[in-house]
């Protein structure tokens, strides 16, 4: 069975990429901007679940695994990672006597039917329902747009709306244009509105936080009103939210200068930020 302590097995099970990159290095490559990365950092610190979606045409090197691993650095220090074993997963970690769902992320390499080391069908459905038990999930999927992600979750995997509303962040990435070397971009970053609309109890509303503008290769961001709603959804005071966001954006701008700091440099920057805030 899969042993996540073994670096070779993590690579074989597609939990690690051949060339790991930090979020700072990803910004330096212009795949995303500091404003988007800073917002995602703040949300992951507040333990939202995460899906990184890439093209349905499975192109090697598009960056799903690299992006997912880079973003895991933003999780709180006390976070425990439970690595899933694809279609062999039996969710025995949920029965451990000392497990704390609130501080545990269930990490799945991919939700798809491509390989047995990925999750699909009832196993994937059970996995994506874990947030209903207080856990958090982080995974990747093959989907070109946010609508494709929602269709997969709601129709292919038959998740009920209340479970989809707990899935937090959805980041769609892909390759821009046909030039070489390939330009990787975060096409969109959405947050699934967690509250039920009384007038439309079955509706699922992905709220756009950042959208890539292909015309001038820039990113368009959510306005202040939407960010205020976001603060309430994750349980933060509005003023505190905006101040914390500004600090993280400034940090990402600094560490992404030049070619950007590596994973260790990113870890050090995150640690320094937490020490200053404490």
The tens place of each residue's pLDDT in the chain, 278 residues long, gives 678 888 888 888 888 888 899 999 999 999 999 999 999 999 999 999 999 999 877 565 688 999 999 999 999 999 999 999 999 999 999 999 999 999 999 999 999 998 899 999 999 999 999 999 999 999 999 999 999 999 999 999 999 999 999 999 999 999 987 766 678 999 999 999 999 888 888 899 999 999 999 999 999 999 999 999 999 999 999 999 999 999 999 999 999 999 999 999 999 999 999 999 98
Note the pLDDT of residue 59.
61
pTM for this prediction: 0.95
In a 10 Å sphere around its CB, with 0-12 CB exposed, 13-18 middle and 19+ buried, how is residue 273 labelled?
Answer: middle
Q: What is the pLDDT of residue 275?
A: 95
Q: What is the pLDDT of residue 197?
A: 83
7-277 domain in CATH 3.40.50.300? yes
């Amino acid at each position: 069975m899969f042993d996540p302590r073994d670096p070779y097995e993590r690579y074989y099970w597609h939990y690690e990429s051949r060339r790991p990159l930090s979020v700072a290095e990803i910004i330096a490559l212009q795949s995303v901007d500091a404003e988007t990365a800073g917002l995602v950092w703040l949300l992951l610190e507040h333990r939202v679940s995460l899906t990184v979606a890439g093209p349905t045409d499975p192109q090697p090197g598009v960056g799903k695994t690299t992006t997912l691993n880079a973003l895991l650095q933003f999780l709180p220090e006390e976070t425990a990672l439970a690595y899933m074993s694809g279609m062999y997963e039996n969710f025995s970690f949920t029965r451990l006597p000392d497990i704390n769902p609130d501080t545990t992320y269930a990490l799945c390499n991919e939700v798809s039917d491509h390989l047995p080391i990925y999750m699909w069908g009832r196993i994937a459905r059970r996995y994506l329902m874990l947030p209903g038990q207080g856990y958090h999930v982080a995974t990747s999927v093959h989907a070109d747009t946010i609508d494709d992600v929602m269709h997969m979750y709601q129709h292919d995997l038959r998740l009920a709306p209340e479970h989809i509303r707990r899935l937090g962040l959805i980041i769609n990435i892909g390759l821009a244009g046909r030039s070489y070397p390939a330009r990787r971009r975060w096409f969109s970053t959405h947050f699934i509105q967690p509250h039920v609309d009384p007038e439309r109890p079955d509706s699922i509303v992905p709220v756009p936080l950042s959208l890539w503008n292909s015309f001038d290769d820039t990113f368009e961001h959510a306005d202040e009103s939407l960010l205020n709603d976001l603060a309430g959804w994750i349980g933060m005071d509005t003023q505190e939210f905006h101040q914390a966001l500004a600090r993280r954006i400034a940090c990402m701008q600094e560490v992404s200068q030049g070619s950007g700091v590596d994973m260790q440099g990113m870890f050090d920057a995150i640690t320094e930020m937490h020490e200053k805030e404490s």
